[in-house]
Homo-oligomer: A and B are copies of this chain.
């Protein structure tokens, strides 16, 4: 392992950026000057989104491999560009790195970022690399393009529109619960081995891996989410332009409330229509959790939530991996979930709120 201090800031930046290949014709100048220079396609709008991820708040390196973390950090940003019905083109990557990270660690993180960029034809065009007194900070800004008429905002939902969601919900959240449980088990066993002076057990624990057989899908959803470019393309191919759209990062309830608030509407969604994977349901059962609550409030799905005019109902029904979950109402009717036994519950943004963490 090489210490970053040995090669310095410029050495590290060189190592990280020399493997970058630019793929977008709109990228005129990438890393290496005061700014990146982008030549936007004529008549397009520029889309900009940014995320800041802090160690211990957004990720736990005891179970998140750095390569996956890099991949996920990029995907979260690309997802926001797709949620505007746009095409991501460039990202900048800033890293705050504490001394416990080696050059190889940061290369692993960066390789995950590069892989995410390659999969979506996105260029890394700049950033900042600096030290941090404690932990890792990752700030990514994504830049994309869309024709003016193609852009879909959160505020365009209209009464009688139908509400659609891609993929399934709650799996990333269940993956997180699973990882947290295994981490707790590991720490308990380690404490026990130390308390009883069982050196052999302590040594074995260092190399032990929890058995996640049958739960791979949940882990993948948590550790390596995919931004839904395929859905954006399928919508275009089907000639469907959503009236409003948002990506699900804080949980379905929270995002649906954003759409309804900004569109000045209400909504009804049906519990029985919430898209769930089989593994999510099994895991929720095992954890004695309500699977609908997981689907409504579990974060990090990175699925797309959108509304379309009622007239396109048939078209959207033919789409793969998209499910109709409800409809938009007048604002006065509020936002509610209709349960399996036909009761109405007001939707609340319980979401995942990282500002509730404490120092």
Contacts and interface: CB of A to CB of B under 8 A. Distances in A.
Contact of A5 (B12, B32, B58, B358): B358
Counting every copy of the chain, the complex holds 2
A131 B83 CA distance: 24
Given A141-B141, A143-B48, A58 B355 contact: no
Given A49-B34, A49-B36, A133 B355 contact: no
Indicate the member of A4, A37, A57, A86 with the most B CB atoms within 10 Å.
A37
A238 interface: no
A95 interface: yes
A80 B33 CA distance: 9
Interface in A40-69: 40, 42, 45-58
Contacts of A160: none
B92 A353 contact: no
Contacts of A80: 34-35
A134 interface: yes
A40 B86 CA distance: 16
A70 interface: no
B139 A52 contact: yes
B52 A48 contact: no
A154 interface: yes
Contacts of A46: 37-40, 46, 143
Contacts of A133: 54-57, 134-135, 357, 359
B141 A9 contact: no
Contacts of A172: none
Interface in A117-161: 125-135, 137, 139, 141, 143-144, 148, 151, 153-155
Contacts of A328: none
Contacts of A86: 35
A29 B90 CA distance: 19
Given A55-B133, A130-B54, A139 B33 contact: no
A48 B125 contact: yes
A303 B137 CA distance: 28
B92 A247 contact: no
A194 interface: no
A99 B80 CA distance: 28
A291 to B, nearest CB: 26
Given A37-B151, A133-B56, A133-B357, A141 B5 contact: no
Given A42-B42, A48-B90, A54-B96, 11 more contacts: A32-B154, A33-B155, A48-B125, A50-B127, A52-B94, A54-B133, A57-B131, A99-B357, A99-B358, A133-B357, A141-B141
Kindly list the 6 A-B residue pairs having the minimum CB-CB distance in the complex, ordered from nearest.
A99-B359, A139-B139, A52-B94, A9-B355, A35-B47, A34-B83
13 contacts: A4-B355, A33-B262, A34-B246, A35-B48, A35-B83, A36-B48, A37-B84, A38-B48, A39-B45, A50-B128, A57-B132, A98-B359, A133-B359
